[in-house]
Amino acid sequence: MPDAAAALLREEVGADPGAARRPPVALDEVRLPDPRLPGAVRERLAAALGAEHVRDDREARVAHAAGRSYPDLVRLRSGDASSAPDAVVMPGSAEQVGAALATCAEHHVAVVPFGGGTSVVGGVEPVSDGFAGAVSVDLRGLDRVVSIDRTSLTSTLEAGLSGPQIERALAAEGLTLGHFPQSFEYSTVGGWVATRSAGVASTGYGRIDELVEGLRLIAPAGEVDARALPASAAGPDLRELLVGSEGVLGVICDATLRVRRAPDAKRYEGWWFGSFAEGREAFRVMEQADASPDVARLSDEDETRFSLAFASPGGAVERLGRAYLRARHRESGCLAIVGFEGTAEDVERRRVRTASLLRAGGGIALGRRPGELWLRSRYAGPYLRDELLDRAVLVDTLETATSWSDLESLYRATGDALRSSLAGRGTPPFVMCHVSHLYRSGASLYFTFMARQEDDALAQWRAAKAAASEAIVTAGGTITHHHAVGRDHARWMRAEVGEMGLELIRAAKQRLDPAGIMNPGKLLPS
Ligand SMILES: Cc1cc2nc3c(=O)[nH]c(=O)nc-3n(C[C@H](O)[C@H](O)[C@H](O)COP(=O)(O)OP(=O)(O)OC[C@H]3O[C@@H](n4cnc5c(N)ncnc54)[C@H](O)[C@@H]3O)c2cc1C
């Protein structure tokens, strides 16, 4: 962590850089409950999948006990893996997935589909109360590129393929999926589709839900094949029921996704706006003029300060920013990153048009350096969480979206709720935000919040999370723009879809998963 960043944390949240570190406990110190899967179930799973693909050793169980949310990390680092599954199974085909689900349904064992395990909303934490046990179904063995159709620009991919595996296979054919969530290195096709994920370039390439052309789901009651078609008028779209189903209906075994020709040229650059409001308005005009780049991010004043302290203290971006502020007699400003990908000619044509709109909206071009810095380090930020947790700093993110008309009030309400919850408990907070996904009618807001960790770190987090979620729902935002519902947002689903909406999802679940074994406790409120 750069000195400037440590100083900012000390100033803002009172984090003591000299305090003793709190490293995570070693693997053999983690507390695990005894496995309680009935012997007959274990034997049947081993017969169907091969004994080596049914594990109940310490390492496998701890690695599948939780996802990667702040509460997950707090619990795991302190040695609490009480939620660990009784066993982890690793099917190698859709048929083996079906066999595992049949066995678990028959014996009333809860099943958690597990992709990369990067859920930040409690999506992969096993819930086994009322069940004979819990099994995580690790899907990373479903790793075949089934087909690549260069004519139709589609590719059928098995669920367990990770971001780098997919991009490598597509690059060999001159193609890209263009889906780059910050968890790209670990997350999987199945996880993306099951959570309606959005990547950092989704403004240009589209969210995963826009890229799904077809998919296959294996449920305890049978298989649903939402076949791949460019478009159809044959009734309600089954894909839309299955995309975002978060493992509660069944296991997505493969998906056919829309791909593109790999870009020959990329151009990423920085822009500077006098205020968050000014930048947002410029982004709105740009988006509604169909002139958005593929990546468009605008940090608020606090996130800009934070980024400068972490990314480039005293560097080119900071110097340009300061010069801008001096010239305008301003104290603060906001950094934006815009990125274009495509053919060289297309990138240049789009860039010129976008630049003229951003300039008309008050933006100052900072050149390529800030954009290239951001592109190079786009997956690095999250690793900082470990460093911050070592220093006993609460750090978490949450995200929402609403219309352009309501964006300002949602921004204020969510930020204020986080600040007052954390400050009310006596820990000065630092809350920052960026806009990162643009739509014709609105945009997403992505908040990062930090505070000195209290002794009861989970209670402190729960209070802040609940305050922010209530504020989001009251201000009319969605409870999640791309992280999904999981366990952490389930209680706000009623506000999101209404009672009848919940009943419809439950009816689909009842038909596909009559024993109710699929990912209990997620998506639907209890
Ligand atoms: C550092 C970090 C950065 C992140 N950045 C982003 C981001 O930029 N954009 C974004 O959208 N999200 C992001 N996330 C959240 C997370 O990566 C996404 O939700 C991702 O889509 C999860 O993929 P996964 O393969 O890890 O799924 P998992 O975490 O394993 O599972 C997520 C959910 O989907 C279910 N599931 C998984 N696979 C299947 C399947 N094949 N069939 C049925 N259900 C399944 C699980 O049961 C669970 O409910 C980030 C997370 C981290 C830790």
Band (pLDDT 50/70/90 cuts) for residue 312 is low
Most confident by average pLDDT, 8-22, 96-110, 315-329, 386-400: 96-110
Q: Residue 91 forms beta bridges with which residues? A: none
| Ligand 1 neighbourhood includes 118 CB (under 6 angstroms) | yes
Per cent of the chain over pLDDT 90 is 85
| Residues 6+ away with beta carbon under 8 Å from 334 | 272, 273, 274, 275, 276, 278, 279, 298, 299, 300, 301, 304
From residue 273, give the alpha-carbon distance in Å to each of 320, 358, 443, 511.
Answer: 12, 9, 18, 52
- Beta strands in 90-189, from DSSP E residues, in sequence order: 110-114, 134-138, 145-149, 154-158, 175-176
3-state helix, strand, coil in the chain (%, to 5): 40, 20, 35
Q: Which atom of ligand 1 is nearest to the CA of 116?
A: 26
DSSP assignment string, 378-427: TTTGGGHHHHHHHTTEEEEEEEEEEEHHHHHHHHHHHHHHHHHHHHHTT-
pLDDT in tens, 446-463: 999 999 999 999 999 999
Q: State if residue 69 touches ligand 1 by the CB under 6 angstroms criterion.
A: no
| Confidence label for 315 from pLDDT (cuts 50, 70 and 90) | low
CA dihedral sign of residues 110, 209, 431, 495: negative
The CA distances from residue 440 to 287, 292, 373, 403, in Å, are 6, 10, 28, 9
What mean pLDDT is predicted for residues 426-442?
Answer: 94
pLDDT tens string 65-108? 999 999 999 999 999 999 999 999 999 999 999 999 999 999 99
Sorted by sequence, the CB contacts under 8 Å of residue 426 that are 6+ apart come out as none
Residue 475 DSSP code? T
Per the CB < 8 A criterion, the answer to whether 523 and 480 are in contact is: no
Query: What is the 72 CA–ligand 1 centroid distance (Å)?
Result: 14
Residue-wise pLDDT for 337-348, tens only, equals: 999 999 999 999
Where in the sequence numbering do the catalytic residues fall? 446
User: Is the C-beta atom of 197 inside 6 A of ligand 1?
Assistant: yes
Question: Please, is 222 exposed, middle or buried when counting C-beta atoms within 10 Å of its C-beta (0-12, 13-18, 19+)?
Answer: exposed
> Residue 205: pLDDT band by 50, 70, 90 thresholds?
very high
The verdict on the CB of residue 518 being under 6 Å from ligand 1 is no
Q: Which tokens in the block code for residue 1? A: 């962590």
The predicted model gives 471-500 an average pLDDT of 98
Using the mean position of ligand 1's atoms as its centre, give its distance from the Cα of residue 116 in Å.
7
Selected residue with higher pLDDT from 317 and 230: 230
* Residue in 160, 105, 155 with CA at minimum distance from that of residue 133: 105
Q: Is 86 helix (H, G, I), strand (E, B) or coil?
A: coil
Nearest by Cα to 164 from 187, 142, 144:
187
Q: Ligand 1 pocket check: which of 89, 112, 183 to mutate, most ligand atoms within 8 Å of Cβ?
A: 183
Q: 117: closest CA among 55, 188, 67, 159?
A: 67
